[in-house]
Structure 1
Amino acid sequence: MSDFKQLSRSVQGLTVLVTGAASGMGRATARVFAAEGANVAVTDISAEGTLAIAGEITAHGGTAKAWTLDVADREQIVAVVNDVAAHFGGLDIVVNNAGISVRIAIDEDGYDEAWAKAMAVMLTAHPRIIRAALPHLRKSKSPRIVNIASTEALGATALHSPYAAAKAGVTGLTRSLAVELGREGITVNCICPGPIRTAITERIPEEHKAIYARRRTALGRYGAPEEVAHMTLSLCLPAASFLTGAVIPVDGGLMARNA
């Protein structure tokens, strides 16, 4: 029997770049990593939001810096990723979290524009960010990529076809890159959040949330952004070195429930 192998469960000193970090799951992810001692690159299209979250982190003793980033802009991606690596002396973890809400019927005016925007922000941005980050990740001792998709990629809702298609694309991208990058020790995994309390779901009346959660989830409630963020953290631990290509629902049992 081989000797017990001690594996690190700490991200202390590692650098993580989080997109869409000004609110919701991105904000929670930035805060969770910072609390564990990581250097956090807070990126979002909202300049005010990134500054606020970076300020929250530093006020609590963490290490963070804000960057304004429109993930639909290829040139901004390259510039920000390289600046993050230069500022912190490297880049170890990428969390592709940025997303938008898209609700439109297939025959509605403006569908083509909605489709293009959904793909640009929630699918095309991912490989662009990963491509920009790869030279830095290849220098890391614990390189990790986590893509945030949705349970809409696993079981869709009417009027969300651009959103569902983009998120399904993220799951395919994740598996493909896990195979492609695996021999380099770079793990690529995907989280599919279910009903989570974020700015996107804030507009849903509380009574409707309660009815939906009781009917659809095993736990009978909506999740908190921090519950997704902690799964993201788990996938990025140095000890999570043999987990790659996984698509993990964090959905309170939504996909497990038959009726």
Structure 2
Amino acid sequence: MAGSTAIVTGAASGMGRATAILFARAGARVVLADRSAEQLAAVREEIAATVPDASAIAVTCDVSRPDDLSALVDAAVAEYGGIDILVNNAGVSRRNSVAQDDAEFEQVWQEVLDINLTAHVRLVRRALPHLRESAHGRVVNIASTEALVSQAGLLSYSATKAGVIGITRSLAIELAEFGITVNAVCPGPIETGMTSKYPAEGKANYARRRVPMRRYGRPEEVAQMTLNLCLPASSYVTGTAIPVDGGMSMFHV
């Protein structure tokens, strides 16, 4: 990946942080994007400390704001001259259901839709002129096993993650003529900030009951799949939705 430029959204923590660090170790020039300038700075410092020859910049960005996405692309191009890889990792999970109070439902639905789905398409559109100029354009969208199996109380999250798989397949067809591959990764239960709010005992019980590998995954294990999809060896892989879930989505209990 030496010489490639990769934008990673949601890079301040969890799977985004792990992906950014792994890409830097693989030789990519990394554009870190997230809402938290302080956390982004910490990740950039971590990369500088652990990967001495790496090049990374941090861009504060709220992916739900179109102007922020345009500024993100402009910053990447200004610093590195182009874009080769786009990892749409930023996402939120909010509990809601169809029986929720109208005002609360509409607010949660729109927020999750804007961040988890609409932002992916907008960023691809803004980066597309530069991806087309790349010799090996790659887009990886982070979906979820909630797009494949689901549970009560995650209506907006499940809907948007299923939508991520849908746009991945459509974009893969549309962008194939330019040599750009588009794939989705579907993490299952992973140890991230999003799951840190759940009690450790409850997570352990869930893993023993639902996950054949009997544990939560690590952000680095998801990052490895994302990296693999961006390597030259994966140039003929496109339109896929790959679970990284310890076998959870195939396990019937």
**What TM-score does the superposition give when structure 1 sets the normalisation length?**
0.95
User: 1:51 is matched with which residue?
Assistant: 41
Number of residue pairs the alignment of both structures matches: 249
The counterpart of 1:12, out of the listed 2, 23, 26, is 2
- Amino acid paired to 2:4: L
Q: Deviations over 1:77-113 (max 9, x none)?
A: 0121121122012110000000112102222220111
Q: Contact 2:94–2:112 (CA<8 Å) still a contact in 1?
A: yes
Q: Is the 8 A contact 1:93 1:145 kept in 2?
A: yes
Q: Note if 1:255 corresponds to 2:249.
A: yes
**Equivalent position of 2:213 in the other structure:** 219
Per residue, is there more helix in 1 or in 2?
Answer: 2
Alignment of 1:45-194 (within 5 A): 45-60=35-50, 61=52, 62-109=54-101, 110-194=104-188
2:22 corresponds, among 8, 32, 41, to: 32
2:31 aligned residue (41, 47, 64)? 41
Q: Does the 8 A contact of 1:123 with 1:167 survive in 2? A: yes
3-state secondary structure, aligned to 1:189: strand
Can you list the C-alpha shifts for 1:139-188, whole angstroms capped at 9, x where unaligned?
A: 11110000000000111110000000011100000000000111110000
The answer to whether the 8 A contact 2:59-2:75 is kept is no
Report the CA distance between 1:29 and its aligned residue. 0.4
Task: Report the RMSD for the aligned CA atoms in angstroms.
Answer: 0.8
The equivalences for 1:227-246 within 5 A come to 227-246=221-240
Structure-2 separation of matches of 1:183 and 1:105: 40
* Unaligned segments of structure 1, at least 5 residues: 1-10
Q: Distance in 2 between matches of 1:116 and 1:138?
A: 31
Aligned mates of 1:16, 1:195 — CA distance in 2:
25
Conserved in 1, the CA contact under 8 Å of 2:86 and 2:138? yes
Three-state SS of the structure 2 residue aligned to 1:255 is helix
Provide the rounded CA distance (Å) in 1 between the counterparts of 2:88 and 2:199.
28
2:192 pairs, out of 187, 198, 212, with 198
Structure 2: how far apart are the matches of 1:204 and 1:79?
35
Please give the alpha-carbon distance, in whole angstroms, between the structure 1 residues aligned to 2:98 and 2:35. 28
**Aligned-partner residue type, residue 181 of structure 2:** T
Match of 1:8 in 2: none
Deviations 1:214-249 (A, max 9, x none): 111111100000000000000000121100000000
* Distance (whole Å) between structure 2 residues aligned to residue 255 and residue 108 of structure 1: 28
User: Greater CA deviation, 51-60 or 123-132?
Assistant: 51-60
Give percent identity, aligned residues only.
Answer: 53
After superposing the two structures, state which structure 1 stretch, 47-56 or 231-240, moved more.
Answer: 47-56
Instruction: Find the residue that maps to 1:105 and give its secondary structure.
Output: coil
How far has the Cα of 1:63 moved from its partner?
Answer: 1.4
Look up the SS of the partner of 1:191 in the other structure. strand
Q: Structure 1 runs of 4+ off > 2 angstroms?
A: none
Deviates more, 1:98-107 or 1:67-76: 98-107
- TM-score, reference length from structure 2: 0.97
